[in-house]
């Protein structure tokens, strides 16, 4: 799912079709030329952010750099893994490492409110639209 969103982010801004973003392309939908020319604060702020995202300092943003910017991994772990661990801790009553049908039905509220479930719904909706 991340890959599709990163592709869309890049495609929306990539004016020359090289599948990379220059500073000008990066800022093309963030602000308009009037905002950039109205004061140094806008440009400085965007320039600092661009330089943070540009991990290898080649003055272009690649797919992996944009992905790391849009979907940072917090605390050296994946939020999806954290959610899965939470679901297991809340629902695996017999601690066998599996969730039985009974455990799932007993703890249905955990699944209904799960961020993983919500992401799955968004993924299916995105696929239906494609």
Ordered mean pLDDT values, 10 residues apiece, the chain (130 residues): 84 93 85 52 74 93 91 65 83 93 88 63 52
pLDDT at 78: 65
Instruction: Evaluate whether 126 touches 8 at the Cβ level (below 8 Å).
Output: no
Instruction: Evaluate whether 14 touches 25 at the Cβ level (below 8 Å).
Output: yes
Q: 47-84 pLDDT, tens per residue? A: 888 999 999 999 999 999 998 888 876 555 666 777 78
Residue in this structure with the two tokens 């540009």, named with its chain if needed: 54
Q: Which of 54, 9, 44 is nearest to 28 (CA)?
A: 9
Q: CA of 89: how far to CAs of 4, 21, 105, in Å?
A: 31, 42, 15
Instruction: Evaluate whether 13 touches 28 at the Cβ level (below 8 Å).
Output: yes
């Amino acid at each position: 799912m991340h890959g599709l969103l990163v592709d869309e982010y890049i495609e929306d801004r990539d004016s020359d079709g090289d599948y990379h973003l220059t500073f000008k392309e990066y800022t093309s939908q963030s602000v308009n030329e009037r905002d950039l020319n109205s004061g140094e604060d806008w440009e400085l702020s965007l320039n600092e952010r661009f330089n943070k995202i540009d991990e290898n300092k080649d003055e272009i943003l690649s797919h992996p750099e944009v992905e790391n910017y849009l979907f940072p991994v917090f605390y050296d772990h994946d939020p999806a893994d954290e959610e899965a661990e939470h679901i297991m801790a809340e629902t695996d009553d017999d601690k066998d490492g599996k969730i039985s049908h009974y455990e799932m039905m007993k703890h249905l509220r955990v699944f209904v409110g799960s961020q993983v479930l919500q992401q799955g719904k968004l993924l299916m909706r995105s696929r239906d639209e494609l």
